[in-house]
Amino acid sequence: MRQRIRLAALLACISTGAWAQSPDALPDGANYPEPQCKKPQADRINKPQTYYGRDGFDGGAVGSYNSRVKAFNKEAAAYNACMHAYIDKANGDVKVIQDKANADMNQIRERANASMKVIQDKVKQAVADTNSVATALDQETAKLRSK
Amino acid sequence: MSSRAWPQAGAPEATGSYLDPQCNKPQANLVKPSAWNNESAVYAYNAKIRKFNRDAAAYSTCMHTYIDKANDDVKRLQDKANADLKQVTDRANASMKAIEDKIRQAVTDAKSVNAGLDEETAKLRR
pLDDT at A50: 59
In order, the DSSP letters of B6-54 are: -PPPS-HHHHS--PPP--PPP-GGG---S-SS-HHHHHHHHHHHHHHHH
The amino acid at B45: Y
Is the pLDDT reported for residue A72 higher than 70? yes
More confident residue, A51 or B96: B96
pLDDT, tens digit, for every residue of A18-38? Answer: 444 455 678 888 889 999 999
- Give pTM, 2 decimals: 0.71
Percent of chain A having pLDDT more than 90?
43
- Nearest C-alpha neighbor of A7 from the set B120, B117, B126: B117
More confident residue, A37 or A63: A37
CB A80 within 8 A of CB A12: yes
Domain parsing of chain B, residue ranges: 26-125
Is the pLDDT reported for residue A138 higher than 70? yes
Q: Any chain A CB within 8 A of the CB of B32? A: yes
What is the rounded CA–CA span in Å between residue B31 and residue A136? 11
* Arithmetic mean of pLDDT, A105-126: 96
> What are the residues whose beta carbons fall under 8 Å from the beta carbon of B28, sequence distance 6 or more?
A133, A136, A137, A139, A140, B52
Q: Any chain B CB within 8 A of the CB of A124? A: no
A113-146: b (≥16 Cβ within 10 Å) or e: eebbebbeebbeebeebbeebeeebeebeeeeee
What is the rounded CA–CA span in Å between residue A102 and residue B74? 23
The neighbouring-strand residues paired with A56 are A53
Is the pLDDT reported for residue A17 higher than 50? no
The residues in B 52-111 lying below 8 A from A, measured between CB atoms, are: 52, 56, 59-60, 63, 66-67, 70-71, 73-74, 77-78, 80-81, 84-85, 88-89, 91-92, 94-100, 102-103, 106-107, 109-110
Is the pLDDT reported for residue A12 higher than 50? no
Is the pLDDT reported for residue A5 higher than 90? no
CB contact under 8 A, B88 and A104: yes
Side-chain-side CA neighbours of residue B112 (13 Å): 10
pLDDT at B37: 74
What is the rounded CA–CA span in Å between residue B65 and residue B87? 32
A45: helix, strand or coil: coil
pLDDT at B39: 83
The neighbouring-strand residues paired with A53 are A56
Banded pLDDT at A55 (limits 50, 70, 90): low
pLDDT at A22: 52
Tell me the average confidence (pLDDT) per consecutive run of 10 residues in chain B, 126 residues long.
Answer: 40 68 85 73 84 91 96 97 97 96 94 82 74
Mutate to test the interface with B, among A43, A102, A133 (most CBs of B within 10 A): A133
> DSSP secondary-structure letter at A25?
S
pLDDT at B36: 66
Banded pLDDT at A68 (limits 50, 70, 90): confident
**Cβ-based contacts of B28 with chain A (< 8 Å):** 133, 136-137, 139-140
What is the rounded CA–CA span in Å between residue A25 and residue A10? 32
| Percentages (nearest 5) of helix, strand, coil residues in chain A | 60, 0, 35
pLDDT at A147: 67
What is the rounded CA–CA span in Å between residue A80 and residue A103? 34
